[in-house]
């Protein structure tokens, strides 16, 4: 398929400009010539169009966008007759949360809490419709001038009752190392609690100006996430209250069953911070949380068990890039 340039038409859409180009697709700003409405057109790359599995993945993303109807989630328009595969999506004004964080580093606590609450509201709606985003990160969140948000890019989102797809291009479809949940690192499909973990990482970054796990390469970041607790955020930003820190700890539990079970639970705590009970959490000199001798023994066993899948994931990433 030929590429599109400003001034070209695609069915009844006029291409106005190129917004972004990735390995998987190109996003254009366009105008609907029938209605005059401004919108975005997402066109898959030729590699996707040639792969039936990836075409199915693209179609699933379109179906999800059409099914969801929430002010905090980008909307895809009806799947009308088209001359080639593409998605017509509402045009969203604003800036990526990533752009805001790059410019401002950390956000004021009240603003960060407001944005986090609005993201949780969108997640709660999405999860109640059986859909998990699986790649929640600042690059996939738009923020307007009033700090209203839109979740975008459902490229690896999943319907809970959908069959699992196997991808050729593994490296670009696993999620992002800085925000992926520990269970996804270990190869699990992930569920709504995986999105809550990613939300916790984003909230931590908004409040402290940094992500909780860093490393010299993606494998090191993934390994840190699976084996270690987060550094207490109040050590980085003392303005964070103990209750707000507790909310972060609950969202960032390594074991899914210890996390918030739903985004609405996290929303409630954000709305009622004075009622959040702060659990005693000891701290070691290295900044990690203390564990009892029994828990330390379990931790060592757990660490040994997860080392193998982490190494396998790293091998997959390396092979995929080749």
* Active-site residue set: 135
> Sheet holding 38-44: strands in order across?
9-10, 13-21, 25-32, 38-44, 87-90
- Distance between CA 252 and CA 269 in Å, rounded? 14
Instruction: State how far the alpha carbon of 149 is from the alpha carbons of 37, 40, 199, in Å.
Output: 21, 17, 13
Q: Determine phi and psi for 166, rounding to 5 degrees.
A: -105, 130
> Which residues have a Cβ under 8 Å from the Cβ of 312 and sit 6 or more positions away?
187
- Distance between CA 30 and CA 10 in Å, rounded? 9
User: DSSP assignment, residue 280?
Assistant: P
- Distance between CA 206 and CA 59 in Å, rounded? 33
- Distance between CA 199 and CA 85 in Å, rounded? 31
Strand ranges for 107-233 from DSSP E: 131-132, 141-143, 149-151, 158-159
Q: Point out which residues pair with 26 in neighbouring strands.
A: 21, 43
SS3 state at 314: helix
> What is the distance of C-alpha 226 from the center of its chain?
18
């Amino acid at each position: 398929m030929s590429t599109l340039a400003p001034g070209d038409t695609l069915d009844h859409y006029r291409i106005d400009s190129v917004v972004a180009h990735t390995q998987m697709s190109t996003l254009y700003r366009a105008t609907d010539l029938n209605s005059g409405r401004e919108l975005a057109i997402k066109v898959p790359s030729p590699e996707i169009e040639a792969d039936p599995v990836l075409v199915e993945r693209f179609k699933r993303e379109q179906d999800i966008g059409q099914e969801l109807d929430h002010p905090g989630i980008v909307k895809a328009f009806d799947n009308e007759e088209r001359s080639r595969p593409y998605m017509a999506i509402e045009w969203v004004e604003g800036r990526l949360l990533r752009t805001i964080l790059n410019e401002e580093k950390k956000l004021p606590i009240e603003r960060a809490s407001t944005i986090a609450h609005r993201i949780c509201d969108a997640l709660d709606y999405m999860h109640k419709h059986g859909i998990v985003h699986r790649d929640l990160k600042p690059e996939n969140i738009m923020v307007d001038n009033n700090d209203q948000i839109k979740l975008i890019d459902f490229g690896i989102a999943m319907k809970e009752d959908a069959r699992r797809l196997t991808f050729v291009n593994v490296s670009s479809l696993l999620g992002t190392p800085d925000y992926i949940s520990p269970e996804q690192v270990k190869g699990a499909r992930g569920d709504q609690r995986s999105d809550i973990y990613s939300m916790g990482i984003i909230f931590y970054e908004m409040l402290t100006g940094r992500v909780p796990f860093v490393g010299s390469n993606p494998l090191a970041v993934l390994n840190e996430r699976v084996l270690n607790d987060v550094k207490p955020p109040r050590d980085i930003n003392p303005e964070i209250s103990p209750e707000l820190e507790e909310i972060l700890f609950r969202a960032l539990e390594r074991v899914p069953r210890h996390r918030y079970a739903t985004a609405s639970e996290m929303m409630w705590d954000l709305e009622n911070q004075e009622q959040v009970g702060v659990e005693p959490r000891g701290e070691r000199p290295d900044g990690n949380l203390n564990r009892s001798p029994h828990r330390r023994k379990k931790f060592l066993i757990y660490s040994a068990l997860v080392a193998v899948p982490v190494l396998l994931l790293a091998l997959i990433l390396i092979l995929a890039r080749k």
